[in-house]
Structure 1
């Protein structure tokens, strides 16, 4: 019977609450008179009609103030204020009826008692109905149990959001604050984190949500390390900067990512630096649809440029970033341009047409094995694409040109790294030319988490498909940085350049890729398979280094490096080639590319980038 009641349509449930009020309101009046008279059988015959008039006076008030619009199972304490307001109006109208009806037999003090009794009866009926609905839901609840680490405001909002959804059911809170341990938050018990595994096993819960968006990355790392080998699926909320108006939504919850394991908190951006090349300026981003280019665009729109030009070769990537940006409230023009950076004439016309002042050149081929097997395409896009874009910037009289470079440009062992180092040399050479006013600089950094060239998306797909996770070598290490932090640092470094500067981002400590793979498996609530016993869920296989791949990446060619005013940005003094000499070499290289002579292209790369250790030569 009760289960059928819980499944009734909402209109029927509202009707039932209204009928209960038709009974409770006269009962509250009778109770007040009985208490006032001190008898179970008060004489009410002379004003019995009041008991019938009262509901018809009060229920319209309840309807008007929205008492019947509340969803019973999600009622909160605010319902008391609604009942208080409605009953108070009811008492005032009842008093007017009594005065106009000249009801002298009713004790006036009983109206005060009625006011209290009616609030108690009506509010209690709501909370009783809520308790019944929730009890019935728990009996049939098939949602996945989840524990929440953090019983603060974010944890409370998260629990409420989960309770209203069809997927998860909060069963426990864990919090470091001893004052809240042992208390209940929205009906869920708060436990000491040291008891976490025992509590989760008792409640058959395998998922833990870290609801501490304001915690530092180092603190998150500590919490994650406590649970990563316990077979618990860890999920987290974004940082406070990513939450909108402090409101938690179910879609904000994500799996714990590698960025949570870096243990290094990003330095807040220097506003004067990040705005100097953007605020009230016309900004163009090449490769705007790529992982770095798109994040640059997202960071740029936060700093109100006068106009943002999205320059991209891939149609769908351009469409996607334009749609992404259009979801933000912006008061400036965003112009999507389909084009190839190798078409210098087209890019120059775009720069002149819109009066571009700042160019961020993110267009590049960056997948090491693909570029290794497509040498000419890699050289054309990465080297001559950079030359073409920089000449368009000069002819279009752009003020600043920033190249997005890579740590693979340092003592490269692959074509991709060599082409990026040559792209740096192109800008260093152009910076020596004093016949133009464009300021050139380049920013060099390592891997960014979640980019199209990162191992992280690959590992996620492999884990999702049941493994194995493939790692090239047990000793291979890489530097990692989050995409937003890298983009912010690029914007800040670009403002520091004086001409020909090579900026290097502090990437923190390098990470072993095999350790990264192991942690990603464990954070998914799975166990790494033991190669000897065969026990475990997901195996790790070593496939051998790919062509041109290095065990360790570097950020500097020489030792001539100095810190800037920013704690995460350094500047390096790297060797360069005289501009006219470099242009002569590049003409010969372009001729080799046009004739399809891959061997000559490799030879030219080796000659122009002496640090390049070409495995084929």
Structure 2
């Protein structure tokens, strides 16, 4: 009774719902019983067929006993060939072969038994015709049973899954999109129901691909997609220029159609890869620009077999620099950072993804000269990529002394050791906020730039000091896009500091590619600036991110204006202003026309600034920064008062 109850519970959940599709597979004992029943049914049908023919069963044994013997022999071969062991809904040619062997061996064994009995006794038990009919009928019914179960399972699964599937079309008609359509059409695991392809070929209206219609493009994607009653589109974004990709997304958003980004199929190996990587398109996919081309031969020649130090190596930029350096076969990469957890996570990740990569992590603070001295004595560095810095504007505005310790003192320490150890090249990562700075962070980075640039003309300096400067990077820690995503996930509101605020964006891999490339180009003393493309209005960015998440701005998720934060600019400076830059052989890299300051003067001012920072007197620190960087004008900050007063009071002059 209990066993029967358990069987029923597995097939029925008590809520008027069959659980057949929830079963992992039909139990073997049930398959065996059904096969046995099919054997008995097959013999009964043979008996009925022969009774209406002149062929009669032999009277040696009763018909029932003959049937039991034949079915029993068949059952033996069910066990021998394990015909019941396969999963019926996934039956293959191997399972069919087992059925063939079972039927053939059953028939053969009965022939041998029948002939032997005739040889010794002088008469047969079975007529050979009945044995042949039984073998054919039993095999046909066993095969039909398996085909029926398989087809019913797939039919029910498709009926159930299609209710949850999204009706989609694929944008574009070429070999790649057709391959994608073939995978989706054949694999029911994909959550999509393919309705067709959209093509700009006007003559494609009567065409069908994979049995699906080709829909000709009209005047816009919005007009083309509106009458189709679809839930989404699949877009292989790499196949479209950024402008076209953005237009497709805008048109789809206007029709409440979801856009799914599909990776290039050539980069994937399995259907599981494709399924896992077809995801709703994200804002990063829309802000990415055309692929950057770097001179891999030059980079390989420059970095191969070198010992390289990456400071801030666990951060967004530093860790990506490390990952890109891997492909150029360095001798050793030392990854230095003071963030213990991030450094540990990077170490685990690199060991997993690049087991042959020779690297070591060092936990250290670049403002600690003694610790740096030990590290520089331990390794024979050829190149330094200096990405360590404090970068969060409001936080640094409240803690100016920390910006001095890390952004300035840390840079000075590394420069001193680079010169002392005759390191070939020193590449510093700077920021667009150093251009006409309006906050302490930007001003501190500008001072670091000035110090690094001024070193180049000093006597006995063999190190090439190179500075790279760019704007915001997508997805870096603390950047606006991850912040907006978290706010949207919480249901809003999304907070924007000003309705007119704009920013330049670049992807982390793109920025790091340009850092490595610029490092190979510099002869020393240059400040390289990167082409950041077109600026993005943050309000537009917030609205589009909300729509891409399936919500309506201001209705489902509100957007609040919070006001500019301390030290925050409304507009970032144009880094690629042709009046302020010189071109290089790389179209996205230019040289800033900034005259390097006198090293003796900058050194004295920096030393004074560092001494003041140890006293933790914020106004005096910022006053000195303003003296060093005359263009530093505070915005929305308590230090703005220093711009209208005497930049540095008498106490500072006498310090």
TM-score normalized by structure 2?
0.76
In the aligned structure 2, how far is the partner of 1:379 from the partner of 1:369? 15
In the aligned structure 2, how far is the partner of 1:50 from the partner of 1:300? 73
In the aligned structure 1, how far is the partner of 2:283 from the partner of 2:380? 40
Q: How big is the shift at 1:576?
A: 0.8
Among 30, 44, 53, the residue aligned to 1:16 = 30
Q: How big is the shift at 1:274?
A: 4.2
Aligned to 2:218: none
Residue 539 (str. 1) matches residue 564 (str. 2): no
CA 1:513 to 1:107, structure 2 compared with 1: closer, same or farther past 3 Å?
A: same
Contact 2:576 2:590 in 1 (8 A): no
Q: How big is the shift at 1:456?
A: 1.1
CA 1:411 to 1:135, structure 2 compared with 1: closer, same or farther past 3 Å?
A: closer
Aligned to 2:8: none
Aligned to 2:438: 413
TM-score normalized by structure 1?
0.80
Contact 1:285 1:309 in 2 (8 A): yes
Residue 105 (str. 1) matches residue 128 (str. 2): yes
CA 1:438 to 1:24, structure 2 compared with 1: closer, same or farther past 3 Å?
A: farther
Q: Deviations 1:35-88 (Å, cap 9, x if unpaired)?
A: 9x9989976779865554335425653569x733x7x3xx4xxx4433454445
Aligned to 2:154: 131
In the aligned structure 1, how far is the partner of 2:475 from the partner of 2:152? 48
Count of residue correspondences: 587
Residue 499 (str. 1) matches residue 524 (str. 2): yes
Aligned to 2:596: 576
Q: How big is the shift at 1:311?
A: 1.2
Aligned to 2:121: none
Among 94, 100, 124, the residue aligned to 1:82 = 94
Alignment of 1:351-500 (within 5 A): 351-433=376-458, 435-500=460-525
Q: How big is the shift at 1:512?
A: 1.0
Contact 2:530 2:589 in 1 (8 A): yes
Larger Rg: 2
In the aligned structure 2, how far is the partner of 1:54 from the partner of 1:179? 57
Q: How big is the shift at 1:419?
A: 1.7
Greater mean alpha carbon deviation, residues 300-309 or residues 337-346:
300-309
Name the SS for the 1:402 alignment partner: strand
Residue 121 (str. 1) matches residue 144 (str. 2): yes
Residue 315 (str. 1) matches residue 340 (str. 2): yes
In the aligned structure 2, how far is the partner of 1:320 from the partner of 1:579? 39
CA 1:7 to 1:241, structure 2 compared with 1: closer, same or farther past 3 Å?
A: closer
CA 1:450 to 1:308, structure 2 compared with 1: closer, same or farther past 3 Å?
A: same
Name the SS for the 2:570 alignment partner: coil
Among 606, 609, 612, the residue aligned to 2:629 = 609
Contact 2:183 2:271 in 1 (8 A): no
CA 1:28 to 1:176, structure 2 compared with 1: closer, same or farther past 3 Å?
A: farther
Name the SS for the 1:264 alignment partner: coil
Q: How big is the shift at 1:417?
A: 1.7
Alignment of 1:16-35 (within 5 A): 16-24=30-38
CA 1:181 to 1:58, structure 2 compared with 1: closer, same or farther past 3 Å?
A: farther
Q: Runs of 5+ in structure 1 lacking a partner?
A: 530-535
Name the SS for the 2:465 alignment partner: strand
Q: How big is the shift at 1:358?
A: 2.7
In the aligned structure 2, how far is the partner of 1:482 from the partner of 1:356? 28
Name the SS for the 1:495 alignment partner: helix
Q: Deviations 1:583-604 (Å, cap 9, x if unpaired)?
A: 2221222222223343443343
Aligned to 1:267: 292
In the aligned structure 2, how far is the partner of 1:20 from the partner of 1:182? 43
CA 1:41 to 1:454, structure 2 compared with 1: closer, same or farther past 3 Å?
A: farther
Alignment of 1:137-286 (within 5 A): 137=160, 145-150=165-170, 152-154=178-180, 163=189, 169-176=191-198, 192=215, 208=232, 210=234, 212=236, 214-216=238-240, 218=242, 220-232=245-257, 234-237=259-262, 247-248=272-273, 252=277, 254-262=279-287, 264-286=289-311
CA 1:293 to 1:342, structure 2 compared with 1: closer, same or farther past 3 Å?
A: same
Contact 2:472 2:503 in 1 (8 A): yes
Aligned to 2:7: none
In the aligned structure 1, how far is the partner of 2:585 from the partner of 2:513? 15
Structure of higher RCO (CA pairs closer than 8 Å, 6+ residues apart) = 1
In the aligned structure 2, how far is the partner of 1:600 from the partner of 1:182? 75
CA 1:385 to 1:57, structure 2 compared with 1: closer, same or farther past 3 Å?
A: same
Q: Runs of 5+ in structure 2 lacking a partner?
A: 1-10, 61-65, 116-126, 171-176, 216-220, 644-655
Aligned to 1:532: none
Contact 2:456 2:525 in 1 (8 A): yes
Q: Deviations 1:295-326 (Å, cap 9, x if unpaired)?
A: 22333334443333221112222222223323
Q: How big is the shift at 1:448?
A: 0.9
Contact 2:415 2:452 in 1 (8 A): yes
Name the SS for the 2:353 alignment partner: coil
Greater mean alpha carbon deviation, residues 41-50 or residues 286-295:
41-50
Contact 2:309 2:336 in 1 (8 A): yes
